[in-house]
Chain A
Amino acid sequence: MNILEVNHLVKHFASQKAVDDISFSIAPGSIFGLLGPNGAGKTTLIRMITGIFFPDAGSISFDGRKFQPEEDIAQIGYMPEERGLYKKMKIGEQALYLAQLRGMSRADAMAAIKDWFVRLEMESWWNKKVEDLSKGMSQKLQFVTTVLHRPKLIILDEPFSGLDPVNANLIKDEIFRLAQEGATIIFSTHRMEQVEEICKQIVLVNKGKKVLDGTVDQVKQDFKEHLFAVGAAADAGQWQTPLFNVIGQKDQKAIIKLQDGVSNNEVLQYLIQQGVSIQSFNEILPSLNDIFIKIVEGTPTARKFDASL
């Protein structure tokens, strides 16, 4: 049973279709990447999943039932991209207030806050005000207030923006820990290197439409261009063969592109016949960043992909 299923979701605004017929589903305990350029409709999509907006058409099911915003938002933790806290309110009180708004009792909230504050070394902050915190510190607090009520579904919109590498790692570890404990995480971003590191499954949206859906590995396989890096003590310029083209040289390695239908072994055979001493032979898979740019910029590949969908 999927924790979240989104079926043919549509949301119009006066001038444009912000979300245009998007469907996907998320398995419990997974870390899910929701990707897309600015203005793709990610935030609108998330706002429908968190019950802030009602969809114009389509349905959302949460935990096997129809999504009921009133009750189900207690099971969801949402950290928006446009986020903030009350500047003049004391940090402890603020965390307590936000947890209570999520439906926690005062006592439960206190216990959870203490637990988190100890773990993230924030105990001394209780009586400070947000305006006295650095940006990184308030990001940490923001994260804690998002997950305090042990939500089943955690939605993080650009969670690492403004964080230094140390704190980003700290939060990343917490995300992994929460996923291990059974929470499902939707991670919305346009920073691809983080997605590659964290997410198993991704959906890419562009201009309100879903353009890509699958596991990170699968997507990379789908978009690979049969590029290989050959580490060899030889001059690659002398290789003349219908099997592949040499398209570059980088760090003592030759980059080759195999022709369609040519297997790795054929290439290796050819190289051995040439008397090349091979030190390494690796396939180069495209980075998500490359795939993202390719699709979003509307290259022919993306169109072909779109058509085959």
Chain B
Amino acid sequence: MNKTWLIIKREYLTRVSKKTFVLSTFLTPILLAGIIAAVIFMTVKNVQQEKIAVADKNGLLKEFLEPGEQLKFEFLPGADTSLLSKGYSAVLLAPGNGMNSTTERFEIYTRKNLSVITEGSIRRRLNDAIETRMVTQQGGMSKAAYDSIRSQAKEVGFDNKVLDGGSEVKAGNSGVAYAVGYGAGFLIYITLFLYGAMVMRGVMEEKTNRIAEVVVSSVKPKQLMLGKIIGIGAVGVTQFVLWVLLIVGLTSLIGLFVPAEVMEQVNAMNKGVPGAGMAVQANQATMAFAEAKHTLSSVNWWFIVGCFLFYFVFGYLFYAALFAAVGSAVNEDPQDAQSLMMPITMPIIFSIVIMMNAVTRPESALATWASIIPFSSPIVMMARLPFGVPGTVPYWQLALSMVSLVLGFLGTTWLSAKIYRTGILMYGKKVTLKEMWKWAFRKD
């Protein structure tokens, strides 16, 4: 049997059969979902009824200020700050003399700082009230007519149709693309560190356990290194696939909690059945849900997942070889690893910074080049891809990026194998980056 295969098998099986692997694989998505649910729950629960006293001597707001679900306004003539101790969470003082004066401002008194949400809500309602007042008083329009116009204006949305070479029309959605790109880029960033560090620890373990020399007297150091990298990579892919399955499972569980008739309506709307849409127009929640479902289905998931796996695997291979080289140079002291890891972690951290920029401007020169150079392409390209191929990312860029990543992986592996071969048998000496560089380019 092939010796590299034996090594891969050992590396894979020892890790997959560990309790920590099983726990982290199954608990991570559940924990993540739990945290998200908890955050949403807390945010929603935290919003309390706020009762606000309004002193509005000149009647600037009385007819125009709309209460909200969490906000209640009470117009009290002669309201002052003493009301704060009588169950009111804020006192709003309108300017004493008309709206024309710029020196006069609204003032709001509170016991404690208002939450961002409450403050924003008050500000919006105040603006709306003043706007309505101006339109009705100066524009001569009735309040009812203006309200109707405004609610209609709110309903207008637009579908962004991206023209691909003049023939095909695809629905683009920058919001979803942003989220997917950001998520995918971040996921690759995490996995590079997670599994890269795992490779480094594995190599360090073999070196400090003194098994390295025993093994390299049976197999070539390069086989040992590649076996470890591929074995751990397979662990990563396994974990990723299990996570995807779990997430798909969990989301279909969420589907169970949505009432059946709502789902039916949503499906009907997506199919564009006339009449069905009209019947549910009043139902805001259904609308939002339908829209989310529609935009999510506009993303080419198979393509994205396929590309993700490619960049996940080759990005990992590209960096894992470098991590292995560092692991081989480290002696007992894990502190050494920190400084030697710097040249590897820096490009990864740069990539994540560029990625955050790329999701907002996927066509910028920085994003384009960073998505082609193999040091940053796994993270940055994943951030650009959801914006559309070949709309935002032309085919040649994708091909160039993939080819240079594969070539880059061969390069780092070749380089690392030379460092690894020397480092793994070197004991007791503190190795510097300069020495590692020499090992890598020594000819023999």
Binds B, one of A50-58, A119-127, A172-180, A264-272: A50-58
- Complex interface: chain B residues within 8 A of A47 (CB): 425
Q: How far is the CB of B46 from chain A (nearest CB, A)?
A: 46
Contact digits for A69-103, partner B, Cβ 8 Å, 1 yes 0 no: 00001001011101111111100000001101111
Q: How far is the CB of B206 from chain A (nearest CB, A)?
A: 8
The chain A residue with its CB closest to the CB of B428 is A82
Contact digits for B170-207, partner A, Cβ 8 Å, 1 yes 0 no: 00000000000000000000000000000000000100
Interface size on B, residues (CB 8 A): 21
Q: How far is the CB of A109 from chain B (nearest CB, A)?
A: 11
Please, how many angstroms separate the alpha-carbon atoms of A85 and B206 in the complex?
8
Q: Are A87 and B215 in contact (CB under 8 A)?
A: no
- Complex interface: chain A residues within 8 A of B218 (CB): 73, 98, 101-103
The chain A residue with its CB closest to the CB of B209 is A84
Given contacts A51-B217, A86-B211, A101 and B6 within 8 Å (CB-CB): yes
Q: Are B217 and A83 in contact (CB under 8 A)?
A: no
Please, how many angstroms separate the alpha-carbon atoms of A73 and B213 in the complex?
13
Given contacts A52-B217, A80-B217, A86 and B209 within 8 Å (CB-CB): yes
The chain B residue with its CB closest to the CB of A130 is B209
Which of A78, A80, A87 has the most B CB atoms < 10 Å from its CB?
A80
Which of A51, A101, A145 has the most B CB atoms < 10 Å from its CB?
A101
The chain B residue with its CB closest to the CB of A47 is B425
Q: Would you call B338 an interface residue if the criterion is a C-beta within 8 Å of the partner chain's C-beta atoms? A: no
The chain B residue with its CB closest to the CB of A84 is B210
The chain B residue with its CB closest to the CB of A149 is B218
Q: Are B6 and A88 in contact (CB under 8 A)?
A: no
Interface size on A, residues (CB 8 A): 27
- Complex interface: chain A residues within 8 A of B209 (CB): 84-87
Q: Would you call B346 an interface residue if the criterion is a C-beta within 8 Å of the partner chain's C-beta atoms? A: no
Q: Would you call B339 an interface residue if the criterion is a C-beta within 8 Å of the partner chain's C-beta atoms? A: no
Q: Are B214 and A52 in contact (CB under 8 A)?
A: no
Q: Would you call B430 an interface residue if the criterion is a C-beta within 8 Å of the partner chain's C-beta atoms? A: no
- Complex interface: chain A residues within 8 A of B40 (CB): none
- Complex interface: chain B residues within 8 A of A88 (CB): 14
Q: Are B1 and A80 in contact (CB under 8 A)?
A: no
Near B by CB (< 8 A), chain A positions 34-64 give 47, 50-52, 54
Near B by CB (< 8 A), chain A positions 114-167 give 142, 145
Contact digits for B420-444, partner A, Cβ 8 Å, 1 yes 0 no: 0000010100000000001000001
Please, how many angstroms separate the alpha-carbon atoms of A89 and B205 in the complex?
13
Q: Are B10 and A97 in contact (CB under 8 A)?
A: yes
Q: Are A78 and B6 in contact (CB under 8 A)?
A: no
Choose from A54, A83, A101, A145 the contact partner of B3 (Cβ within 8 Å).
Answer: A101
The chain B residue with its CB closest to the CB of A89 is B14
Q: Would you call B219 an interface residue if the criterion is a C-beta within 8 Å of the partner chain's C-beta atoms? A: yes
Q: Would you call B216 an interface residue if the criterion is a C-beta within 8 Å of the partner chain's C-beta atoms? A: yes
Name A's interface SS: loop
Q: Are A84 and B211 in contact (CB under 8 A)?
A: yes
Q: How far is the CB of B116 from chain A (nearest CB, A)?
A: 50
Q: Are B214 and A100 in contact (CB under 8 A)?
A: no
Q: How far is the CB of A101 from chain B (nearest CB, A)?
A: 4
Q: Are A85 and B3 in contact (CB under 8 A)?
A: no
Given contacts A97-B6, A100-B1, A84 and B216 within 8 Å (CB-CB): no
Please, how many angstroms separate the alpha-carbon atoms of A89 and B211 in the complex?
12
Q: Are B213 and A82 in contact (CB under 8 A)?
A: yes
Q: How far is the CB of A91 from chain B (nearest CB, A)?
A: 13
Given contacts A47-B425, A97-B6, A97-B10, A52 and B211 within 8 Å (CB-CB): no
The chain B residue with its CB closest to the CB of A146 is B214
The chain A residue with its CB closest to the CB of B1 is A100
Please, how many angstroms separate the alpha-carbon atoms of A97 and B216 in the complex?
13
Q: Are B215 and A101 in contact (CB under 8 A)?
A: yes
Please, how many angstroms separate the alpha-carbon atoms of A97 and B13 in the complex?
12
Please, how many angstroms separate the alpha-carbon atoms of A246 and B444 in the complex?
60
Contact digits for B396-418, partner A, Cβ 8 Å, 1 yes 0 no: 00000000000000000000000
Please, how many angstroms separate the alpha-carbon atoms of A97 and B1 in the complex?
12
- Complex interface: chain A residues within 8 A of B10 (CB): 97
Q: Are B216 and A85 in contact (CB under 8 A)?
A: no
The chain B residue with its CB closest to the CB of A70 is B220
Please, how many angstroms separate the alpha-carbon atoms of A83 and B3 in the complex?
20
Please, how many angstroms separate the alpha-carbon atoms of A242 and B438 in the complex?
65
- Complex interface: chain B residues within 8 A of A85 (CB): 209, 211, 214
Choose from A76, A83, A89 the contact partner of B214 (Cβ within 8 Å).
Answer: A83
Q: How far is the CB of B231 from chain A (nearest CB, A)?
A: 13
- Complex interface: chain A residues within 8 A of B444 (CB): 54
Q: Are A80 and B6 in contact (CB under 8 A)?
A: no
The chain B residue with its CB closest to the CB of A49 is B217
- Complex interface: chain B residues within 8 A of A14 (CB): 438
Near B by CB (< 8 A), chain A positions 212-228 give none
- Complex interface: chain A residues within 8 A of B205 (CB): 86
The chain A residue with its CB closest to the CB of B438 is A14
- Complex interface: chain B residues within 8 A of A102 (CB): 218
Q: How far is the CB of B147 from chain A (nearest CB, A)?
A: 71
Q: Please name 15 further chain A to chain B contacts, defined as beta carbons within 8 Å, in addition to the given A83-B211, A84-B209, A98-B218, sorted by A numbering.
A: A50-B217, A54-B444, A73-B217, A73-B218, A80-B214, A83-B210, A85-B209, A86-B14, A86-B205, A87-B209, A98-B214, A100-B1, A101-B6, A101-B218, A103-B3
7 contacts between A and B (CB under 8 A): A52-B216, A80-B210, A80-B214, A82-B210, A87-B209, A89-B14, A98-B218
